[in-house]
Every structure is written in structure tokens, then in C-alpha cells.
Amino acid sequence: MNTRSAAVAAVIEDLVAANRILARHGVLDGFGHVAARHPERPDRFLLSCSRAPELVSAADIMEFDLESNAQGSDARKPYLERFIHGEIFRARADVNAVVHSHSPSAIPFAASSVRLRPVYHMGSFLGAGAPVFDIRRHFGCTDMLVRNRAQGAALAAELGAEAVALMRGHGFVAVAASIPVAVYRAIYTELNAAAQQKAIALGGAITYLEPDEAACADEAIRGVSDRPWELWKREAFGRDG
Ligand code: MN
């Protein structure tokens, strides 16, 4: 743990920032988590021990293999739902960061036949609409948590090649090739969901971004993802951070 390289230390710094940023934006609270793939070992990922995200520091970050087993005889208590991350990293070689959230505006779409779709360019990563993972369809009656590899693998299969999957009666996952992009996708999943509910409440017909528009806008926004990240990271660590 004390022999980490500069590359690993940099990812851990961004992962700690991501925890604090997502807490500040109400995407994570006492629950939920964010993980990053290990920059030197693609068969490993980094995730805090079981702590509230706003309190996470570099010393809390644990290392797991893709079966979600803690490495280095680390006996700290891990998150129950670490299998979400392990199975998505296993299924998606293009994904290097995963956020799991229960944020309030996303929940109605996880419970409804109305799909979560992009109402503006900042939600463009939602594409043609986020898929919904229904754990009951695969595993019958559960406590709704993703507690093992089979449940994580079923969630990863529902996610497919998308950026976001909703989880019925639970929350969502947002994924990306980098921590900054996964963070803004998680934040804007919440904001797009809130805006979509307002559009629905207006009562008129809604014109969502078409899938071709969404693909163009997603590429454009990814190109400027450093801009909010610089701001959010500074806010998370204070003025000199
Ligand atoms: Mn959860």
C-alpha cells in the first residue's frame, strides 16, 4: 500500500476527488460509491472501504481483483455492492470508472415505463434512452442490493454498451473511460432526470435529442470534460487543492 507508483497515486487522488464532488452534488450521500480501474493492472480496480463518500481519503482506497476480492490481505470492511464495479470492469474493457448512485430524480425513471432520455446536450450520453435493470426478473425476491458476482454480471449485461443503466427500485450506474467523464455523466444523469420530469409536467409533447444528435453532442461534451473537472476538483479540495 505504501509502494504505489505516481500513476496509481494520481488515479487515487482523482478517485478521492470524485467521491467528494459527487457528494457535494447530491449524487452520492451516505450511500453509493465510485470506482476506478487500476492504471497499471487492468484486472484490478480501486474503491474505498465502506465509508460515506464525502469522508473518503486516499488512505481509504482498497484494491480489488475482478472477482471483487480485496487484495493484499486488506481486512477492512468493503462495500457490499462492490460486485457492481468488478463485473462492469470485467465486461467493459473500455470502461475505467464506474459510479453507483441512488440520486433522487433518477429513481422515478427506474420505476416507470417512461424511459430516461436526453432532454438537452448535457444528457446526450443517455443516447436512445437508459436501459433498466430489474433484479427481480433475474433473481426473484431480493433486498434489491447487488450482493454477488452473478447479480453484478446481470447488471453489466443490461448496461451492455451504454453509458448509464437504471436499476429498478434502487438507483443507477454511470460508466466512462475516465473518472472526470464518469463523474459528469453521473451528475448530469441526475440533472437530466430532473429536467425531463419538468418537461413531462408541462404536459405538451416532448422532443428529445434524437440518437444521432445525442451521439454528436456526447462527443463534443467529452472533448471539454477537463473544464468542469478542474472547477469541481478545486471545490472538493479547497482553494489550493
Ligand atoms: Mn446501491
Alpha helix (H) ranges present in the chain? Answer: 6-24, 83-91, 107-111, 135-139, 149-159, 179-202, 211-222, 226-237
Q: Which of 94, 107, 103, 87 is nearest to 47 (CA)?
A: 87
Tens-digit pLDDT string for the chain (241 aa): 457 899 999 999 999 999 999 999 999 999 999 999 999 999 999 999 999 999 999 999 999 999 999 999 999 999 999 999 999 999 999 999 999 999 999 999 999 999 999 999 999 999 999 999 999 999 999 999 999 999 999 999 999 999 999 999 999 999 999 999 999 999 999 999 999 999 999 999 999 999 999 999 999 999 999 999 999 999 999 854 4
Distance 217 CA to ligand 1 centre (A): 29
Distance 109 CA to ligand 1 centre (A): 16
CA distance 174 to 51: 20
Note the pLDDT of residue 241: 44
Note the pLDDT of residue 4: 83
Annotated active-site residue in 81, 87, 162, 190:
81
Domains of the chain: 6-237 (3.40.225.10)
Backbone angles phi, psi at 208, to 5 degrees: -80, 165
Note the pLDDT of residue 2: 53
Distance 26 CA to ligand 1 centre (A): 15
Q: Is 158 a residue of the active site?
A: no
CA distance 219 to 222: 5
Check residue 76 and report its DSSP letter: S
Distance 5 CA to ligand 1 centre (A): 31
For the entire predicted model, the pTM comes to 0.96
